[in-house]
Amino acid sequence: MKTLVLCVDRDDDLGEKAKVISPVIGRKNNLRAVIALGIEDPEDSDANVIFMGLKLYKKYKEMGREVEIASICGDKMVGIQSDANLVRQFYAVIEQFTPDTVVLVSDGAEDEVILPLISQRVQIEHIARVVVKQQQNLESTYYIIMSAFKNPKIGKKIIVPLALILMSWGILMALGEAAIAMGLMVILIASFLMVKALNVEDQITRVFDESRDALRTRRYLLFAGVVLSFVLVITGVIVGYMRASVEDVEIAKFAYIFLNNVWIWIVLAALSYTLGSALDTFVRTNRFIRSTWVILLSLAAIYFIASTAFNFVGFVGFNEKFEVTENLIYMFIGVFLLLVGGVVYTYNKGKNRGKKKTSWLR
């Protein structure tokens, strides 16, 4: 059995810091590369990843396996470009060494985004995640915290948003608005956690990257879909605010009116983006992606279920009119569309298994 020990460096520290050209194939080449990286930055966890890869290489050799080790790198601008580099380098590696199984070595979940792409080509035998040991005392804890502050990725994604939240809270407290300050802080922290949990920032970055690439490559249908979706969201926010501001109401009623007017525009924006991407793929490949139906059915289901949900909230919380029969029909249609979407998704998943993807929709 032929086994490939694959070390992943998604943000290309090996190239940026040690000036090593990837992919790095072979034990000797990886040993030289990790020494070069360790000299440039002894604290970089990617060096530990390669050392772990070399350890696993030795272990599989002792087991009598035919084994090879390779390190692949992405790009300092983590995202579409870095993942494209990882895939390209992985394919280059398996062209030279055709493994039966892959052992993936990384220092965290960020490097493991390539996992589904690898598993499509080669069976993954084992995943080794490297965790660097630290001495558990006050001095080392302080050092770790200060290192995190200096890390640009952690600073931009976590420390800066938290600092802005605390700054807003402090300003309102200084102005004597303690209740508003506390409520705003809770809302902002909750929003921040939701953005992180749902990976919203990466999705927004992906949409911006796709729109830029679409304009550069003259994929005008996709670009039009992206632009129209942004226009619809902005329009929805403006309409929602204007309608909520007509009357002098309490904050809960204001939020209800605002959200009740905004959500339909968000659904329309998602519909615009979906159709733009689907039509763009059809024009380029002459194929209509079956999973588009799943997204369209899901959006239709969201429309009916959200309508019922907002009507019910308005009835319970603000004595709004509530037509029981009409809303039950809406809820039934929404659930039915969700079930149909699930059936279509399961069918497409079986059909597409083993086929090459042609768009983000599949």
| Helix, coil or strand: residue 101 | strand
What is the pLDDT, as a whole number, of residue 359? Answer: 39
Strand segments, DSSP code E, in the chain are: 2-9, 24-25, 66-73, 101-106, 123-129
- Measured CA to CA, the distance from residue 315 to residue 127 in angstroms comes to 52
- Measured CA to CA, the distance from residue 36 to residue 290 in angstroms comes to 48
What is the pLDDT, as a whole number, of residue 356? Answer: 43
- Measured CA to CA, the distance from residue 89 to residue 91 in angstroms comes to 5
- Cβ neighbors of 291 (< 8 A, separation 6 or more) are 344, 345, 348, 352, 361, 362
Residue 163 binned pLDDT confidence (cut-offs 50, 70, 90): confident
Tokens 């506390």 belong to which residue? Answer: 182
What's the pTM?
0.48
What is the pLDDT, as a whole number, of residue 276? Answer: 84
- Measured CA to CA, the distance from residue 23 to residue 11 in angstroms comes to 14
Contact 270, 236 (CB under 8 A): no
Q: Which of 212, 220, 218, 229 is nearest to 273 (CA)?
A: 229
What is the pLDDT, as a whole number, of residue 56? Answer: 92
pLDDT in tens, 22-68: 889 999 999 999 999 889 888 777 888 899 999 999 999 988 889 99
Per residue, what are the HEC states of 15-46? HHHHCCCCCEECHHHHHHHHHHHHHHCCCCHH
What is the pLDDT, as a whole number, of residue 168? Answer: 76
- Measured CA to CA, the distance from residue 242 to residue 220 in angstroms comes to 32
Residue 216 has pLDDT above 80, yes or no: no
- Measured CA to CA, the distance from residue 192 to residue 7 in angstroms comes to 32
Residue 136 binned pLDDT confidence (cut-offs 50, 70, 90): very low
Which of 5-19, 193-207, 239-253 shows the highest mean pLDDT?
5-19
| 230: phi then psi, degrees, rounded to nearest 5 | -65, -40
What is the pLDDT, as a whole number, of residue 120? Answer: 82
